[in-house]
Structure 1
Amino acid sequence: MVENANTQRTSDSGVSIWLDDLSRTRIESGNLQQLIAEKNVVGVTTNPSIFQKALHQVGPYDAQLKEMGRVNVEEAVQELTTTDVRNATDIFHDVAEKSDYVDGRVSIEVDPRLAHNTEETEKQAEILWKKVNRPNAMIKIPATLEGLPAITATLAKGISVNVTLIFSLERYEQVIEAFIEGMVQADQNGHDLKHMGSVASFFVSRVDTAVDKLLEANGSDEAKALEGKAAVANARLAYELFERKFAADPRWAALEAKGAKKQRPLWASTGTKNAAYSDCKYVDELVAPHVVNTMPEKTLDALADHGNGAPSIEGTYEESHKVMDQLSNLGISIKDVTDKLEADGVAAFIDSWSSVLTDVQAGIDRVNG
């Protein structure tokens, strides 16, 4: 098996390439091992929409469903999804070991219906962590206001966390604070910090989808010139915030001395939704050390075929601030955009989860006659 030059260049520039997809078919076919060997894939993220697609398939999950019998559908979903995540973490075991648990991570998300319930999110995060029972797993918790204290509490138990559905710089700053405080508490609680991990999933392309509609509605030349620029500028300023916050916080310096690893920015929603833009746009324009880019397979294939992978964030902060100022001058509120994107993201995942429950119930009924 031969490594791909473009994914290797991206990886060498400091980007951890994770796959934004998982299914039993992908695991059992050997495809996941192939992506590790050939395209520098060093982790996997899942979400309710990904599991909805996987569990909608008739066949791959029937044997396990039959073995479980007529169980409650919620229990069945948890068994099916944690089995896939556990098996995927085993595939990534060597990657995790070689990277000292920086990579080799596989994420599973708490029930999205709990996104505004701090206590229940915290409880389910612990249940999922124990159920998967692998040190290279990560539990995904949404960055809602109610999710922030659950992130801290979950980390305090020694559990690795992927914070998801981050759209705004304001919320990202709160996430970093929740992470550092969680690691302080984990240390106080006697947990080994060295193998704990966390990423902050900052969503990218959806920002352009939303802002471009507002720019098109404006119709001016100034607005037209800004199309396709908001998402990358927003993410680059998130990286600026990442650099600044971890460099300036004395609590972090003390934790790092004990072996703690920074919570890395993870670029999510990196598939290009506008055909006028490069299909590698949200990879090639966000290359920097200490970041993760989780890609749908279509984007990964595009990167492998014709991606650049050269560093592309350094030196862009001034330009990115200017883009945000120009949007504001046109009357476009990034806060309004990102607030709506967060609410829409939670709602979309809840819809996907409802479909998961329906499909798995149909599977239970089918295999049990």
Structure 2
Amino acid sequence: MNERLAQLSKAGVSVWLDDLSRSRISSGNLASLAADLGVVGVTTNPTIFAKALSDSDAYADQVAELARAGASVDAAIDALTTRDVAQAADVLAPVYEATRGYDGRVSIEVPPNVARDTEATVAYAKQLWAMIDRPNIMIKIPATLEGLPAITQVVAAGISVNVTLIFALGRYRKVVEAYLSGLERAREAGIDLSGIHSVASIFVSRVDSEVDRRLDEIGTPEALRLRGTAGLANCRLAYQIAEQLFSSERFEVLEAAGANRQRPLWASTGTKNPEYPDTLYVSELVAEGCVNTMPEATLQAFADHGEVAGDTIAGRYDAADEVFDSLAVLGLDYAEVMERLEAEGLQKFDASWAELVATVGTQLKGAGA
């Protein structure tokens, strides 16, 4: 296994790949990444699936079958994506077994048209869980206000959840509380808590992109000095929240009943600013019990020249607070920035889904011609 990524894993960071395709599975590439680069999980989203379908003919036979059966676009999307996720879960099943469910996970997202509908989110999450029928998957649920009670209900049903689209620290705190509430309900229902796992996906580079844009507009030396600091500070303070809430008496009761901690997951970890090191959001977010899901370019970059210099999160909370204090002095409104990022994230979610719908629709028509 690659020495640099082995060091990252040894430091407590689970390395997940933010990409999936049928050809990646059938060619043995995913298995190779697991063996050689220490990949122990996979995350997906509609954009990833749309690209996979556009770039490969690996789906042609199944698309043709779906077209002959008269499948709707939505039904075809479910059939195509759940097959990929099931196959990837099978590839990572040995990791899942070796880590007793801690890793070996593959995530799949509920569609965006249910992101603002609690009950619809719960129903779709249960549908995806049943369709894939693998213990090592996670259902991705956006951390919208409507998504919070959905998280509780889905966890209460014994389903593992990847909470996505988290930006604000206040919202992250509510995500953890939703998870804890779900565990409490699951325990009351007699469900084995040890089989329920969760991660909370906190976005990194998007925070810097938005904050840096505003700092560039201010243009003072003080403002420019703070470029590239907000995303890391936000994640470090989120990790502090996790330490606090999962050391609480409330969680200790659940842990005694077999519950697992919800791990912070660093998402959007490919640097968007070419001035920043391409491994910035990996090497600077190292701590025990977290996940980093990387695009393959970031994964390969870290394998080539990434560095692990011990824990780069714990003990840096005061400095992270100072970053946001300095941003506030410059007039940046933290709450407004995070609200904008969530709104934009949902818009991108919708656009990604529309792209996937268009791609699958076109292929169904072509196969049925």
Would you call these one fold, judging by a TM-score over 0.5? yes
- Check if 1:175 corresponds to 2:175: yes
User: Structure 1: how far apart are the matches of 2:357 and 2:317?
Assistant: 44
- Give the alignment partner of residue 20 of structure 2, picking from 12, 19, 22: 22
Aligned to 2:114: 114
Q: Kindly provide the amino acid, as one letter, of the partner of residue 88 in structure 2.
A: A
Q: Where do residues 228-307 of structure 1 align in structure 2 (5 Å cutoff)?
A: 228-248=228-248, 250-307=249-306
Once structures 1 and 2 are overlaid, which stretch shifts more, 287-296 or 42-51?
42-51
Unmatched 5+ stretches in structure 1 = none
2:150 is aligned with 1:150: yes
1:1-369 aligned at under 5 Å gives the runs: 3-68=1-66, 69=68, 70-248=70-248, 250-310=249-309, 311-369=311-369
Q: Does the CA contact (< 8 Å) of 2:245 and 2:251 recur in 1?
A: no
What is the letter of the counterpart of residue 241 of structure 1? I
- Taking the aligned partners of 1:80 and 1:189, their CA distance within structure 2 comes to 33
- Structure 2 Cα separation of the partners of residues 10 and 334 of structure 1: 31
Residue 56 (structure 1) shift: 2.1
- Counterpart AA for 2:355: S
Deviation at 1:309, TM superposition (A): 2.3
Of residues 164-173 and 191-200 in structure 1, the stretch that sits farther from structure 2 once superposed is: 191-200
Report deviation, 1:349. Answer: 1.2
Displacement of 1:314 after TM fit? 2.1
Q: Which amino acid aligns with 1:269?
A: S
State the distance in 2 between where 1:356 and 1:56 align: 9
Deviations 1:192-225 (A, max 9, x none): 1112110000000100000001101111111011
Contact 1:166–1:202 under 8 Å retained in 2: yes
Q: Distance in 2 between matches of 1:116 and 1:309?
A: 40
1: CA distance between counterparts of 2:113 and 2:27? Answer: 32
Do 1:279 and 1:302's aligned partners in 2 also have CA atoms closer than 8 Å?
Answer: yes
Give the Cα separation in 1 of the matches to 2:58 and 2:341. 33
Q: Matched residues in 2 for 1:149 and 1:128: separation? A: 18
Are the aligned partners of 2:158 and 2:195 in contact in 1 as well (CA < 8 Å)?
no
SS at match of 1:163: strand
Shift of 1:58: 4.8
1:155 alignment partner AA: V
TM-aligned CA deviation for residue 59 of structure 1: 1.2
User: Cα offset for 1:336?
Assistant: 0.9
* C-alpha distance in 2 between matches for 1:38 and 1:130: 32
**Shift of the alpha carbon at 1:71?**
1.0
Conserved? CA contact 2:240–2:314, under 8 Å: no
Deviations along 1:162-204, whole A, 9 cap, x unmatched?
0000001000000000000001111111111112110000000
Cα–Cα, structure 1 residues 58 and 34, in superposed 2: closer, same or farther, change >3 Å? closer
User: Equivalents in 2 of 1:153, 1:91: separation in Å?
Assistant: 29
Output the CA distance in 2 between the equivalents of 1:256 and 1:364: 48
User: Which amino acid in the other structure matches residue 332 of structure 1?
Assistant: L
Provide the secondary structure at the position in 1 that maps to 2:55.
Answer: coil
TM-score under structure 2 length normalisation: 0.98
Q: CA deviation at 1:55?
A: 2.0
SS in 2 for 1:171: helix
Q: What is the DSSP-based 3-state SS (H/G/I as helix, E as strand, rest coil) of the residue aligned with 1:247?
A: coil
Q: Distance in 2 between matches of 1:359 and 1:352?
A: 11
Deviations 1:244-274 (A, max 9, x none): 11112x2211111121110000000000000
Q: Secondary structure at the match of 1:17?
A: strand
SS in 2 for 1:293: strand
Moved more, 61-70 or 23-32: 61-70
CA contact (8 A) 1:56 1:356 kept: no
Bigger mean CA deviation after superposition, 185-194 or 101-110: 185-194
Instruction: Report the 3-state secondary structure (helix = DSSP H, G, I; strand = E; otherwise coil) of the residue aligned with 1:56.
Output: helix
Deviation, structure 1 residue 335: 1.2
How many residues get paired?
366
Partner secondary structure for residue 274 of structure 1: coil
* 1:139–1:280 CA distance, 2 compared to 1 (3 A): same
Query: Share of identical aligned residues, percent?
Result: 51
What is the TM-score with the length of structure 1 in the denominator? 0.98
CA deviation after TM superposition for structure 1 residue 233, in Å: 0.5
Name the CA distance, whole Å, in 2 between partners of 1:315 and 1:289: 13
Deviations 1:327-356 (A, max 9, x none): 001000121111111111111011111111
Separation in structure 2 between the aligned mates of residue 123 and residue 107 of structure 1, nearest angstrom = 17
